[in-house]
Amino acid sequence: MTPETIALALIWYVAFLLALTCHEAAHALAAKRGGDLTAHEAGQVTLNPLPHMRREPIGTIVAPLITFFVSGFMLGWASAPYDRLWQQRHPRRAALMALAGPAANFVLVLLAAAAIRGGIAAGWFAPPETVNFSHMVAATRAGAAEAAAKFLSIVFSLNLMLGAFNLLPFPPLDGNTAVGLFLPERAALRFAELSRSPMFAFVGLIIAWRLFGEVAGLIFRGGLVILYPELVL
């Protein structure tokens, strides 16, 4: 294991924790504002990653580190607790809570894009000759600029994919709960009950993963349009 690999793993892990922490904190904050204090009382309305890591240590520590050293990419999960009775009473509030997580990821995409464009304007970064998940922008100098370019590239790509994946309307993803916004209340309640079935969630996750594999390239190219609109004008 080289020092370069360790440094890259550290950059990846900080970006990964930022994405998951903002995602779950947004869920918790939206639930609090909607009347469910479960996540708030668990201390998860926070951008401090520690409460989220304590709740899901496998998904936030073990899984991402193993997947990185096996594949060069971090996968994991986190969760914010909520009151199922509150969801049954307020399915539309629960849907807004679900949408808050991906919305936080898309905000991070825009912030990373703004930082990248600002760095290009300042002369610290330049558009790369070729792009990939962790190389959305190139540094024009060694040292901190290289680390910043790598970090912002990963923040941009990771949050773009995480936000888009979670919008798919299959359990246990956020998009499944968000379907309640478009259904009559009785139908939304029935849909939520069906979605809680472990088998339904397992099948839904398999379908979502396969479907996302078909559209991930299109989503990534859409991200390039956001980052470098002048290249398609």
The 10s digit of each residue's pLDDT in 29-88 is 999 999 999 999 999 999 999 999 999 999 999 999 999 999 999 999 999 999 988 988
Range from 87-101, 116-130, 181-195 that averages highest in pLDDT: 116-130
Domain extent listing, the chain = 3-227
**Per-residue pLDDT, 203:** 86
Q: Is the pLDDT of residue 19 over 80?
A: yes
Give the pLDDT band (50/70/90) at residue 232: low
Q: Is the pLDDT of residue 139 over 90?
A: yes
**Per-residue pLDDT, 202:** 82
Q: Is the pLDDT of residue 183 over 90?
A: no
Task: Compute the mean pLDDT over every residue in the chain, rounded to the nearest whole number.
Answer: 92
The 10s digit of each residue's pLDDT in 143-166 is 999 999 999 999 999 999 999 999
Cα torsion through 176, 182, 186, 192, rounded to 10:
10
> By the 8 A CB rule, do 124 and 77 touch?
no
User: In sequence order, which ranges of the chain are alpha helices (DSSP H)?
Assistant: 3-34, 38-41, 49-55, 57, 63-71, 84-89, 91-122, 144-166, 174-178, 185-195, 198-227
Percentage of residues of the chain with pLDDT beyond 90 = 74
Query: pTM of the prediction?
Result: 0.93
Q: Is the pLDDT of residue 141 over 70?
A: yes
Give the pLDDT band (50/70/90) at residue 12: very high
Backbone CA torsion sign across 149, 74, 69, 60: positive
Q: Which residue has the higher pLDDT, 157 or 199?
A: 157
Average pLDDT over residues 118-131: 94
DSSP assigned state of 196: T
